[in-house]
Amino acid sequence: MNPPLPRVSILGVPVSAISLDEAVAAVEEWILGRQRHYVCITGAHGVIECQTDATLRAIHEGAGLVTPDGMPLVFMARRLGFPRTQRVYGPDLMRALTVLSARKGYRQYYFGGASGLPERLAARLTEQFPALPVAGTFSPPFRPTTPEEDEGIVARINAAEPDILWVGLSTPKQEYWMARHRDRLEVPVMVGVGAAFDFLAGTKRQAPVWMQRRGLEWAFRLGTEPRRLWRRYGRIVPEFTLRASIQLLNAPPRRTAARPHRSF
C-alpha cells in the first residue's frame, strides 16, 4: 500500500492537497483492495461547520480523503506550501469515476436526494455511459430513520454489492451518515457529493466555469437559490475570509512541501 497523500491544515481541518487524478487513483485502489473508506468533498462551508462541531472535525480527520471542493481551499493550500493542489469538485470527481466505472465495471449505488432524484441521476448517467453498472438507488426520508428502517437500508445496500456508494444528503448530514455507517456497509468507497446529484441529473444549473475558477460559485448558487442559501453564505463567506486571513498572517514562512510520488 502506498503512503497517504499529503494534507494541509486549513483552519484545523486536514484537507487533502491533491489533484483530481490522484483522487480517482486512490478510490480505485480502495475498490481493488476491498477497503472501507469515505470521502468528504469539503469547501468553505464544511470547514466553517467544523469550527464549532468537534465531531464533524473528527469525521474529516477519519476520512480517506478530504477533497478541496472550492477554490478558496485551493488558494489556501497553495499559499500554505502545497502549490500543486487542484480543485477536486464533487461533480467532477463523480464524472471521472463514472467514466472509469463504465470502463472497468465498478458498480454504483446512488443514495440520497428527493424522491425520484437518484433514479433520474442513474438514468441520465447510464444514457451517457451505457456500460455503467448501477447496483441500486434509494431516496431516504427527510426525517430521522428509525433503527429498524436503518437496518433495512444497510441490508438493502449490502445486498446490492456496490463498489462506490454515492451519498447525496448535503453537508454535514452526509458526513455524519458516512461515518456512522462505514463499518456496517460492505462497500469499499462512500463519497458524499451533496448537490452533485442535482447537477448531474440536470435538475439544477451549475455555475459557469469562469466563476468556478475564481472562487465565485457561492455567488451563483446564492443568486439561483437566495431564500435557501442567503443565511448560509451570509455567515460563511465573511467568517471564512476572516479566519483564513488570520491563519495566513500567522503562518510560518512559505515552504514548498515535498510531494511523494504516486502516493495515496
Residues 6+ apart with CB under 8 A from 73: 10, 15, 42, 43, 44, 47, 87
Residue type, 177: W
Q: Give the helix/strand (H/E) hosting 42.
A: strand 37-42
Assign domain 7-142+151-211 one CATH number from 2.60.120, 3.40.630, 3.40.50, 1.10.3470: 3.40.50
Residues in Cβ contact with 30 at an 8 Å cutoff, skipping those fewer than 6 apart: 36, 37, 64, 188, 189
User: Can you tell me the distance from the alpha carbon of 173 to that of 232, in angstroms, rounded to the nearest whole number?
Assistant: 15
pLDDT at 258: 46
In contact, 60 and 9? CB cutoff 8 Å: no
- Give the CA distances from residue 259 to residues 39, 81, 178, 205, in Å, rounded to whole numbers and listed in that order: 21, 11, 29, 36
pLDDT the model gives residue 207: 67
108 SS3 class: strand
Strand-pairing partners, residue 109, are 136, 165
Instruction: Give the integer Cα–Cα distance in Å for 149 and 154.
Output: 9
Taking a C-beta distance cutoff of 8 angstroms, is the pair 229, 222 a contact?
A: yes
DSSP 8-state assignment for residue 157:
H
Residue segments in the chain with a per-residue pLDDT below the cut of 70: 1-3, 206-207, 210, 214-218, 220-223, 225, 227-233, 254-264
The residues spanned by each domain of the chain are 7-142+151-211
For position 230, what pLDDT does the model report?
56
Q: Which amino acid is residue 259, in one-letter code?
A: R
**What is the structure's pLDDT at 242?**
95
Q: DSSP code of 187?
A: -
Cell of 81: 506550501
Cα dihedral 164/167/173/178 (nearest 10):
-20
Element (H, E) at 190: strand 189-192
pLDDT tens readout for residues 221-236: 666 767 666 566 678 8
The whole-angstrom separation of Cα 250 and Cα 111 is 41
